[in-house]
Structure 1
Amino acid sequence: MDNIEVPEYFICPISLQIMKDPVTAITGITYDRQSIERWLFETNNTTCPVSKQPLPRDSDLTPNNTLCRLIQAWCTLNAANGIDRIPTPKRPLSKLHPINLIRDLYQPDLQIKTLRKLEALAIENNRNRVFLVEAGLVNALISFITSCYDKQQMNGLEEALSLFYVVRASLAQLQGPLTENDEVFDSLVWALCCDYLPDSVVVKSHAAYALRVMVEKANPGLLERLKPEFFKSILCLLRAESSNISQQGKNSLLHALLDACPWGRNRVVMVESGAVFDLIEVELRSPDQKKTTELVLGILCHLCSCADGRAQLVNHTAGIGAVTKPILKVSSIADERAVSIIWLIAKYCGTSRVLEEMLRVGTVAKLCMVMQANSAVHLKEKAKEILRTNSDVWNDHWPCTEADWTFRC
């Protein structure tokens, strides 16, 4: 095959491989369908790779049937020389087909069959997933899931949540809130608490991801009306060691809590629900889980802006230690959040007991290391402020300095 000269116009400009399904863009350049669709739908480019002219994602890609037949004939002719034969390309999904399928999703007797058809299309390629989302799939799935909750039936719930997860990459392109109906939060929490489905671990992980997306893209008015039961249910799932939910699912729940934190009412409800204690336990049970640590520290940073939140953290026997341990071991994001928590604790709860605890668990040492490490300037300033403010207490107990250790750090 290496000695065979392939006609130049058989080669895709992107993949540099023989085209299996040549299509011509509105710029007049021919590409292999898979390559140009990946260029448009997965990397979100809007220019022609060759001509650099504008190439909108929704522009037509016209099948080049003549070239396709020429390539197929050439491959057949050279099959004995190791050239693979190219089958006739499969007809691509039209934009109208997803719309018709989604309409069927509202027909009770067609729902399960339709969900399976939709998922099969979504799994095929990113282009199909984009078309499905643009055709209104998300709203249809939300309606279906809330309907399951209203009827307290789980038939089709697994398929709906799985489909929501399959199209997850295309959801980022949606603008504005996904729904104005706060019942979707109750529905997803209900799905998270269902233990009667065959593969409940996967179902719960998918439900947790859907909940994360809905909170992330929720109307601010909906987030202000989140019920205490919403937070209690999530914390209960995070707290339980046998909650049949994966680590990825737990991270999705932590994402949802973090996105709800900017609202003061939500922070108060979370603290009253014992969130600080639960989050510390999550961190202690999740060693070497970078994302989990970052999320836990992010939520704790919000909750420690409340007096009751700070009180819960210092009253947990491992609270200060759990916040201190990740510093300079996880990521710059974790450093930022952990030092901010310690700054809040030292400033507003800096009793002798708390300051001595910081010395005992290595917080002071970590702060000095932040000063010496390649950390952000503002982080070093915050660490310096903590050290300088509490130097009177720590100076008598810090053995590694002979003079003004605060100045040296």
Structure 2
Amino acid sequence: MDILKEKESGSLSEECDEALIIFHHRQCTDIQLRKIVQLEDDSIFFDALLRIRRIGRIESRLHALMLLRKLFKVVDPAQITGIKDELFEETVRILKDNGVSLQTIKASLELVTEIIRWGRNRIKAAESGMVSVLIELLIDNSDRRVCELMLVALEQICWCAEGRAKFLEHAAGLATVSKKVLRVSHVASDRAVRILFLICRFSSSYRVLQEMLEVGVVSKLCLVIQVDCSETTKERVKQILNLNSRLWKEASCIPAHLLSSYPSL
């Protein structure tokens, strides 16, 4: 453990890299992982792993991410709720780094989606600038799993008012999320619809609802009712459409063949 904590700045030592490789390949049980954290000052230990994410080599950063995921699965929830803002800030840096591997991006997103629902972590993620980065990456990303993870993260962040505000600040937020509906997977469609539901349920305004008409969100929602997808997703879509039927139901910009599927109140 001391090897992981020895470097406060600059590049990491070869011993640190080797220690991470050993940890990565060693099949530790949950009990062993808990003991690792309990025997150490856990804040120092987690800080060391976060520092490795920032300044370590590509392979070391990936190993640190995977070790963090393993540890967060076994630690007390109080430790997860007390995560420092730095974790989310470092995740944003990784996502913005064009030189990062797809595997590292996936590992970062998997870590975030597992811890974001605890305590104030949604707010920390929103304040880190993560919403804007996720939307930008969603625009051109075609990897199914990455898209799913980004939509899961966005949905979790949108459960807080700060997250929804950041989402609506982005000019392409609504259009980008709606375009992923029916284009990626059932999981992605479900999460995208959940995001739109949260916006309509808790943060709607005339401007927002009008934008949803103009960028094709409402037409896409009407299409969801007509095609083969989960009943849960369809029911959530119907709730969205019913919530805003006064403004949307007679809209001239919705094609007639889609408007015909608009649910009756």
The TM tier, using the shorter chain, reads 0.7 to 0.9
Distance 2:16 2:71 in 1: 17
- Any idea what SS the aligned residue of 2:63 has? helix
Deviation at 1:191? 1.0
Distance 1:339 1:160 in 2: 43
Q: Name 2:189's counterpart in structure 1.
A: 335
Distance 1:403 1:312 in 2: 30
Task: Specify which of 355, 363, 380 is matched with residue 234 of structure 2.
Answer: 380
Matches within 5 A, 1:364-403: 364-394=218-248, 395-397=250-252, 398-401=254-257
Distance 1:204 1:211 in 2: 11
Task: Specify which of 174, 181, 186 is matched with residue 30 of structure 2.
Answer: 174
Distance 2:184 2:255 in 1: 27
Unaligned runs of 5+ in 1: 1-142
Distance 2:177 2:258 in 1: 28
Distance 1:348 1:316 in 2: 17
Q: Name 1:235's counterpart in structure 2.
A: 92
In structure 2, give the amino acid aligned to 1:184: F
Structure that is richer in helix per residue: 2
Q: 1:359 to 1:294 in 2, by over 3 A?
A: same
Distance 1:344 1:211 in 2: 30
Q: Name 1:289's counterpart in structure 2.
A: 143
| Contact 2:4/2:19 (8 A) holds in 1 | no
Distance 2:259 2:211 in 1: 23
Unaligned runs of 5+ in 2: none
Q: Relative contact order, CA 8 A, sep 6+: which one is greater?
A: 2
Deviation at 1:144? 4.7
Q: 1:166 to 1:403 in 2, by over 3 A?
A: closer
Q: 1:151 to 1:340 in 2, by over 3 A?
A: closer
- Any idea what SS the aligned residue of 1:156 has? helix
In structure 2, give the amino acid aligned to 1:358: M
Q: Name 1:217's counterpart in structure 2.
A: 74
Deviation at 1:145? 4.8
Distance 1:187 1:403 in 2: 55
Task: Specify which of 333, 337, 345 is matched with residue 199 of structure 2.
Answer: 345
Q: 1:252 to 1:145 in 2, by over 3 A?
A: farther
Distance 2:198 2:116 in 1: 17
Q: Once the two structures are superposed, what CA deviation does each residue of 1:195-223 show, in whole Å capped at 9, x if it has no partner?
A: 5xxxx222222222222222233321211
Distance 1:374 1:334 in 2: 14
Distance 2:259 2:151 in 1: 34
Matches within 5 A, 1:50-199: 143-149=1-7, 153-167=12-26, 170-171=27-28, 174-175=30-31, 177=34, 179-180=37-38, 181-194=42-55
In structure 1, give the amino acid aligned to 2:85: P
Do structure 1's residue 406 and structure 2's residue 265 form an aligned pair?
A: no
Q: Name 1:324's counterpart in structure 2.
A: 178
Q: 1:345 to 1:252 in 2, by over 3 A?
A: same
Distance 2:46 2:209 in 1: 41
In structure 2, give the amino acid aligned to 1:341: I
Q: Once the two structures are superposed, what CA deviation does each residue of 1:237-275 show, in whole Å capped at 9, x if it has no partner?
A: 222334xx2111111111111111122311112212222
Q: 1:407 to 1:151 in 2, by over 3 A?
A: closer
Deviation at 1:159? 1.9
Do structure 1's residue 358 and structure 2's residue 216 form an aligned pair?
A: no
Q: 1:204 to 1:380 in 2, by over 3 A?
A: same
Distance 2:213 2:224 in 1: 15
In structure 1, give the amino acid aligned to 2:215: V
Q: 1:270 to 1:400 in 2, by over 3 A?
A: same
| Contact 1:257/1:299 (8 A) holds in 2 | yes
What is the RMSD of the two structures over their aligned residues, measured on CA atoms? 2.6
Aligned positions, number: 257
State TM-score, norm by structure 1: 0.57
Q: Name 1:268's counterpart in structure 2.
A: 123
| Contact 2:112/2:153 (8 A) holds in 1 | yes
Q: 1:403 to 1:295 in 2, by over 3 A?
A: closer
Aligned-residue identity in percent: 31
